[in-house]
């Protein structure tokens, strides 16, 4: 830290991204990326001709891609906001809709970035405990009168709320924004995008990073009432109007054109997920009923930390969280069947040594 950094940033606990060690080849099951490549159209969209236009700024309105997303989700283009990854949109949401007076609430076990954004923008926030079974108690959020941020399905638990439950939260807080982070919705959950037509306080955030195989391109979008989208645009046009680069815009458009490919990949991942659950059970693990592309699992035979460390030593990366409430668990991204078989092979070996 330099002596120049101003006070409010000195004590900030920053977000820790999943590790990307380069010392050997790992089976990478730690950051919930898709194991499948982008579709052919995406590869074709990044042509030499398009690369040669990088001297020109991208379209700040992202019109073509917004229209495509709007049509896929049956909303209007004015209801769609695009940004450089959904983290960017969550950041903007904390800036726009939370403050020291406008408190935020989110589950105490959820996406770690909510807390970081809260701290960064000096927001007062309240982390609401999950129930003992790691589910969200919807009643905690009904009529709460604060800005609500919920990942649905939640991370790292993988558990999902129904649209009816989300609607109870949204309808009972008409004077507050409810942000639903649907980063993992395409793996078997049901999106509540349609509710944005009925409620002007609902903002649904999605990303191309998980189900659309484009984590490296950085693209996220939000759907909400025109007024909420205008609010986000105020922030975008006050920070970085060109926050999505030309190549990512092209890749995103091509990905929406080939939506079927991605939904097929999601089906494959869901199939592998169910296969993985079965195998983990045979190995004596318990896990939460994931509706995502990861499984939150634990074993009585080996601690979460030990399991994580020994997997890593054997070339398999998973995510472990030191928070004592969940430190028994590891979060395992669902990869290909082949990647999972490697995980099982190493796990069997490790358990036999316990």
Ligand X SMILES: *Cc1c(COP(=O)(O)O)cnc(C)c1O
Nearer to ligand X, 215 or 346 (CB): 215
Nearer to ligand X, 173 or 333 (CB): 333
Long-range pairs of 57-61 with CB within 8 A, sequence gap ≥ 24: 57/242, 58/242, 58/244, 58/245, 58/246, 58/249, 59/249, 60/237, 60/241, 60/242
Backbone angles phi, psi at 304, to 5 degrees: -55, -45
Q: Under DSSP, is residue 86 helix (H, G, I), strand (E, B) or coil? A: helix
Could you tell me the two tokens for 200? 């002007």
The residue range among 60-68, 85-93, 164-172, 250-258 that interacts with ligand X, by the rule CB under 6 A, is: 85-93
Judged by CB under 6 A, which of 36, 81, 111, 307 binds ligand X?
A: 111
Could you tell me the two tokens for 43? 């590869």
Query: In angstroms, what is the minimal distance from the CB of 300 to ligand X?
Result: 28
Query: In angstroms, what is the minimal distance from the CB of 171 to ligand X?
Result: 23
The residue range among 19-27, 79-87, 263-271, 306-314 that interacts with ligand X, by the rule CB under 6 A, is: 79-87
Q: Which of residues 179-198 bind ligand X (CB under 6 A)?
A: 181, 183
Nearer to ligand X, 144 or 151 (CB): 151
Nearer to ligand X, 134 or 299 (CB): 134
Site string (87-106) toward ligand X, x via CB under 6 A: x-------------------
Per-residue b or e along 266-278, where b marks 16 or more CB atoms closer than 10 Å to that residue's CB? beebbebbeebbe
SS3 content of the chain, % helix, strand, coil (to 5): 40, 15, 45
Query: In angstroms, what is the minimal distance from the CB of 106 to ligand X?
Result: 11
Nearer to ligand X, 209 or 253 (CB): 209
Backbone angles phi, psi at 242, to 5 degrees: -100, 45
Nearer to ligand X, 176 or 207 (CB): 207
Could you tell me the two tokens for 319? 């995510």
Q: What distance in Å separates the CA atoms of residue 190 and residue 136, rounded to the nearest whole number? A: 17
Q: Which of residues 139-178 bind ligand X (CB under 6 A)?
A: 151, 155
Q: At what angle do helices 259-282 and 246-257 cross, to 10 degrees?
A: 80
The residue range among 136-144, 207-215, 264-272, 282-290 that interacts with ligand X, by the rule CB under 6 A, is: 207-215
Judged by CB under 6 A, which of 30, 39, 86, 93 binds ligand X?
A: 86
Contact residues toward ligand X (CB under 6 A) are 32, 85-87, 111, 151, 155, 181, 183, 207, 209, 215, 220
């Amino acid at each position: 830290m330099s002596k120049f950094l101003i006070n409010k940033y000195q004590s900030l606990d920053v977000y820790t991204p999943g590790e990307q060690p380069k010392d050997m080849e790992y089976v990478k099951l730690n950051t919930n990326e898709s194991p499948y490549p982008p579709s052919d159209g995406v590869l074709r969209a990044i042509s030499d001709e398009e690369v040669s236009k990088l001297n020109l700024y991208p379209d700040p309105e992202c019109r073509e891609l917004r229209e495509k997303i709007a049509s896929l989700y049956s909303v209007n283009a004015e209801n769609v906001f695009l940004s450089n990854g959904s983290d960017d949109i969550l950041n903007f949401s904390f800036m726009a809709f939370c403050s020291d007076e406008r408190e935020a609430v989110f589950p105490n076990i959820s996406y770690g970035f909510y807390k970081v954004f809260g701290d960064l923008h000096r927001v007062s926030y309240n982390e609401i405990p999950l129930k003992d079974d790691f589910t969200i108690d919807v009643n905690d959020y009904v009529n709460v009168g604060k800005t609500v941020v919920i990942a649905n399905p939640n991370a790292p638990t993988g558990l999902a709320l129904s649209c009816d439950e989300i609607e109870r939260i949204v309808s009972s807080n008409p004077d507050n924004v409810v942000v639903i982070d649907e980063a993992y919705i395409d793996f078997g959950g049901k999106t509540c995008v349609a509710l944005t037509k009925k409620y002007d306080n609902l903002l649904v955030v999605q990303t191309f990073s998980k189900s659309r195989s484009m984590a490296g391109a950085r693209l996220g979008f939000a759907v909400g009432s025109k007024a909420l989208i205008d609010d986000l645009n105020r922030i975008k046009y006050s920070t970085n109007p060109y926050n999505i680069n030309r190549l990512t815009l092209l890749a995103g458009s091509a990905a929406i054109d080939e939506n079927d490919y991605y939904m097929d990949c999601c089906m494959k991942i869901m199939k592998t997920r169910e296969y993985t659950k079965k195998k983990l059970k045979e190995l004596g693990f318990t896990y939460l009923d994931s509706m995502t592309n990861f499984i939150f699992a634990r074993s009585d035979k080996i601690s979460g930390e030990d399991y994580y460390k020994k997997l890593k030593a054997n070339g398999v990366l998973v995510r472990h969280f030191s928070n004592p409430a969940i430190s028994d668990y590891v979060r395992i991204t669902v990869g290909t069947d082949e990647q999972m078989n490697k995980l099982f092979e190493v796990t069997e070996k490790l358990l036999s040594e316990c």
